[in-house]
Structure 1
Amino acid sequence: MYSTKYNLLIENLRGQGYDDASNMRGEWNGLQALFLKDSSHAYYIHCFAHRLQLALVAVSKEVHDVWRFFSTLTSAINFVDSSAKRHFQLKSIRKDEINDLIESGEIDTGTGANQDCSLIRAGATRWSSHFNSVRRFIGLFGSVSILLQDLVDKGLNSNIRGEAKGLYLDIKSFDFVFVLFLMHEVLGISEKLCQTLQKNDIDILNAVNLVSTARINLQQIRDGRWEEFLWSVIKFCESNDIEVPDFDDCCTRGTKRSCQLKNNITVHDHYHFEIFNAVIYFQLMELNERFPESTMELLTLSNALSPVDGFRSFSPCDICSLVDKFYYHDFSQEEREDLMRELDHYKFDVPHHVQFQNLDSLHHLCQTLARTTKSVIYALIDRLVRLVLTLPVSTATTERAFSGMKLIKTPFRNKMENDLLANTMVVYIERDIALREVHEELPSTKNGKSSKMSPNKPNGYSDSEMEILIDISFHSNRNGKKTRGNGLPEFEPPMMDDGSNAPVRSEIVIEEIIEEDERNKKKKLIFQLMKQQNHMISMMSQGHEGALGHFLSFASNISKKSDAYISSRKKAVHRTYNLDLEKP
């Protein structure tokens, strides 16, 4: 196992977090249960970001109108984006719409404003993708309506015309627009929470506070913002020629027969209570059920260490209870008594210290304790803070590592062995540390002149040149060659009969260094051309006349990029080695 290879002791495990997979979170046979058998203090925290996504999915299952909305939204987006021709038509319609709005003075112009955009698909496994999909559809609602209306009359066949007609009627209904704006309002609150939970520096206390603020915002929308929300929906419908129902009429299903009256409730009550309040209610219920679980007491007691608002929640009794109930294995009986005495000094010292003011998270408190050397004075409190910090908030960092495997083990590196893959993954995941190490090892001068240095471009090298230098260092270390002080391979020129080094021209060395890389680069370019060629054939089959010209332009740009890449690589290698080799 991984723990055996790196001499990690299971009994020292203090926190574990996974997603909603049953083989990971299973109460009896899941991985977290197996770890708890060996270490009863390895407290399990369900990934907060996954919980948020699961709460959203649960709402769509419970409220039928929301399920129908997402079904229609997905169908409309797939219908438009499945065809390159329809995708191009949508962009053209949007461009004309923006030009008209600029001429009428309804929108402003400026750098980065009014950029081309396309629809976004919502995915069950992509966090916050539902909100992005809803927000983008609202922005392109008018363009999508025009496109569907045009396809109803000018579609290539009856299937396209029929599907366009059905989608047009669905999205131009008041029900669709109502749920569209409702999900934009509700998911907007969840979006902020979801993005924050995916940060690397978020801790468990801030996560709990963010969940609480999300509950408060949802409750406020439910209690006092119904009239404001309904007015915005009606205004949008009027501007897009969508029929608004009479809210005083009785709500019916299907036809308007008296036998299909819906419990004699009005249309206003249907939208207000059966959709608006129901969606927010299920969202609140899911947040209440999924986030606290069995760890609520642990999180509540841990909040006593929080430095937020000038240590407002500081409580020596809660801190001692936290140790007695959850971390008694890490503190002896004598240390628990010493902890009380430390807390007596701590509450009059740290909260009033200048450097501890305006701290907003537990990890900032831990860093400040170490920086001010108070971690030595309050060693037991510092130990407890570090134990609480081991509780994982989300698995977003781990998910990003899995995504990084696609960038490292590509189709051109499909024979990479496990050891090389693992070592490369460590460099990729901890790339901030790796770049800092490269920044420190490279010389501070270049060509005899001092150069401006930055974290992203050490010693003034460009991005492409830095990629080349790191690539050379990687391959040289893998092959076991000698390296210089800056990590680049040491060139060993051939020996003469008298024992002296033979003069070698730099062009020969450059060709030897970049020969393999040029072959790999050509393979990538050929793969891109083949992919673009298949795309061109698909576009031509759908009647897009400019597909061939677009492909020829793409091929020309690929050729120019290839020449520029080789030239940049030769320049970078020459700049690196021209101090040791004779110039031509």
Structure 2
Amino acid sequence: MNQKQHIATFFERQSEKTQSEYETRLNAVVDCIQFLLNQGLAFRGHDEFDGSSNRGNFLELLHFLADHNEDINAVTFKNTPLNLQMTSPKIQKDIVSRVATKTTNDIIREMDGALFSVLIDESRDISTKEQMAVVLRYVDNNGYAVERFVGIEHVSSTTTASLKESLDNMFSRFGLSLSMLRGQGYDGASNMQGEFNGLKTLILEENESAYYVHCFAHQLQLTLISVEKKHEEVNSLFNLVSMLVNVIGVSTKRHDILHEKHALAVIEALGKGELSSGQGLNQEITLKRPVDTRWSSHYGRSRRKALEITNLHRYRVELFYAVLDMQLQELNNRFNESNTELLICLACLCPNDLFAAFDKEKLLRLAEFYPKDFSAKDLIALEMQLDVYIIDLRSSAEFSKLKGIGELARTMVKTKKDKVYLLVYQLVTLALILLVATATVERVFSAMNFVKNRLRNRMGDQWLNDNLVVYIEKCVFACIDNEDII
């Protein structure tokens, strides 16, 4: 081998060694970032310079890995050139951005062009920025109804036009079409569900099949509030709760006395066998001020606590029967005729008790609600399919003990009946993506308050979005390996 060949071989080996070191270092950095994203933790510290007692979660975690792995230690920090350490905030943000993009892309890929519904809500973060969270609901290829968070958008204004523009921009970014939208889910805010100029109305003008159903949990809460204000005894109960909160909440001493009294009462009840013990039972709880828009605040913890303190258990049955008729009337007033008919028709798909609720005429009517998905020819074919479908599934052991439309969809996919009764399965998927609750977007804001907290109130909008997407959609993120990111 001549001198030139020796030199070429030397540089080739050096290049391979450098590449290997680079990959080891980058994998260690990505591992640290994945851990912090999964836990929703901050990356940076107040003082990241050498000699600091706490350089922040990212650098401290990377140090921990290096201290416990010789291969990583050999290619990180002082053992690598300053311009190749891969620890700068810019590189961290680049990697997190790529991870978030990969996560949302995998969600869109999982949708596979399916029809979907959208859940939207807005709330202020810790820095008083108005943030709009968007969740998509669709049925995957295995028949599961899935709700995925795809992003949070800072909106400078909460007007209907601003929200619609932000939604259009997000759909365009993900390659989603408004024509594939089949449902909308919001709370009762006028800018969202207003009859004349709400976001719901603007979307319906473009797509008449994007049906809006006011969140059932929110409607139930508002119904209970309305009934409470009309019923003297119920109203008095919650006035009493408010007074108790005022008296006890202003004094830590009274608060401690309340806890002590409650603990003694629980111990006494356990001794008498009036209460059962177990995991999650008889936990310490606090009084919360009743608020009209706080779910379960009136018929949840505050009510239970107030009843314990004031010994008003004897009123429970009387109050129930007194307000039942008023509740039913109030609920009827909150559902329009179109939504009521839609939900009644939808219920005919339920497989319980060997499809006892099956009604062919109502299911054909349900298909008519979606003219984009069922043409006149499809309706004729659907009628014939339904006749065969109900005989087939009622005689099948695999469908004899199903509970709920969700189980029906999964079993149809498992047994390939979704291909045999294609139009019927289309109805099933439309039923599954029709929104009746907006709990998922509420949980997004709970996560937002954890990720962007008081100590991280300077987080930028893109950084917040990237962190939230990965933190909330952990199950999708878990399927992404380092090679995809790198």
**TM tier relative to shorter chain:** 0.5 to 0.7
User: By how many angstroms is 1:386 displaced?
Assistant: 1.0
Whether contact under 8 Å (1:14, 1:390) holds in the other structure is yes
Q: Secondary structure at the match of 1:393?
A: coil
The CA distance in 1 between the partners of 2:409 and 2:329, in whole Å, is: 34
Matched, 1:6 2:49: no
Match of 1:134 in 2: 303
Whether contact under 8 Å (1:48, 1:291) holds in the other structure is no
Question: Out of 204, 222, 234, which is 1:36 matched to?
Answer: 204
The CA distance in 1 between the partners of 2:210 and 2:477, in whole Å, is: 31
Q: Secondary structure at the match of 1:328?
A: coil
Whether contact under 8 Å (1:51, 1:291) holds in the other structure is no
Please list the CA deviations of residues 508-552 of structure 1 after superposition, one character each: whole Å capped at 9, or x if unmatched: xxxxxxxxxxxxxxxxxxxxxxxxxxxxxxxxxxxxxxxxxxxxx
- Unpaired runs of at least 5, structure 1: 143-176, 188-220, 223-276, 442-482, 490-584
The CA distance in 2 between the partners of 1:309 and 1:186, in whole Å, is: 34
Please list the CA deviations of residues 479-535 of structure 1 after superposition, one character each: whole Å capped at 9, or x if unmatched: xxxx579x8x9xxxxxxxxxxxxxxxxxxxxxxxxxxxxxxxxxxxxxxxxxxxxxx
Whether contact under 8 Å (1:120, 1:136) holds in the other structure is no
User: By how many angstroms is 1:138 displaced?
Assistant: 2.2
User: By how many angstroms is 1:20 displaced?
Assistant: 1.0
Distance change in 2, residues 1:64/1:14 (3 Å): same
The CA distance in 2 between the partners of 1:108 and 1:287, in whole Å, is: 34
Please list the CA deviations of residues 350-377 of structure 1 after superposition, one character each: whole Å capped at 9, or x if unmatched: 2221221222211221111111111111
Match of 1:233 in 2: none
User: By how many angstroms is 1:342 displaced?
Assistant: 1.6
- How many residues are aligned here? 316
User: By how many angstroms is 1:388 displaced?
Assistant: 2.0
User: By how many angstroms is 1:97 displaced?
Assistant: 4.7
The CA distance in 2 between the partners of 1:91 and 1:115, in whole Å, is: 11
Question: Out of 459, 468, 473, which is 1:425 matched to?
Answer: 468
**1:527-542 alignment to 2 at 5 Å?**
none
Q: Partner amino acid for 1:140?
A: I
Match of 1:341 in 2: 384
The CA distance in 2 between the partners of 1:32 and 1:395, in whole Å, is: 15
User: By how many angstroms is 1:46 displaced?
Assistant: 0.8
Normalised by the size of structure 1, how large is the TM-score? 0.50
Question: Out of 399, 406, 410, which is 2:449 matched to?
Answer: 406
Identity among equivalent pairs (%): 36
The CA distance in 2 between the partners of 1:109 and 1:389, in whole Å, is: 37
Q: Partner amino acid for 2:343?
A: L
User: By how many angstroms is 1:423 displaced?
Assistant: 2.5
Q: Secondary structure at the match of 1:4?
A: helix
Q: Partner amino acid for 2:345?
A: L
The CA distance in 2 between the partners of 1:282 and 1:42, in whole Å, is: 31
Distance change in 2, residues 1:366/1:94 (3 Å): closer
Distance change in 2, residues 1:37/1:432 (3 Å): same
Whether contact under 8 Å (1:19, 1:395) holds in the other structure is yes
User: By how many angstroms is 1:110 displaced?
Assistant: 5.4
Which 10-residue stretch deviates more, 113-122 or 368-377?
113-122
Match of 1:78 in 2: 246
User: By how many angstroms is 1:106 displaced?
Assistant: 6.4
Question: Out of 370, 383, 387, which is 2:426 matched to?
Answer: 383
Q: Partner amino acid for 1:413?
A: R
Match of 1:46 in 2: 214
Matched, 1:68 2:111: no
Structure with larger RCO (C-alpha < 8 A, sep 6+): 2
The CA distance in 1 between the partners of 2:483 and 2:198, in whole Å, is: 49
Question: Out of 278, 282, 287, which is 2:326 matched to?
Answer: 282
Match of 1:307 in 2: 351
Match of 1:322 in 2: 366
Distance change in 2, residues 1:66/1:381 (3 Å): same
The CA distance in 2 between the partners of 1:108 and 1:320, in whole Å, is: 51
User: By how many angstroms is 1:115 displaced?
Assistant: 5.4
**1:90-489 alignment to 2 at 5 Å?**
90-97=258-265, 105=272, 116-131=284-299, 132-141=301-310, 177=312, 181-182=314-315, 184-185=316-317, 222=321, 277=322, 279-291=323-335, 293-324=337-368, 326-435=369-478, 437=479, 483=482
The CA distance in 1 between the partners of 2:277 and 2:426, in whole Å, is: 52
Please list the CA deviations of residues 19-44 of structure 1 after superposition, one character each: whole Å capped at 9, or x if unmatched: 11111111110111111110111111
Larger Rg: 1
User: By how many angstroms is 1:78 displaced?
Assistant: 2.5
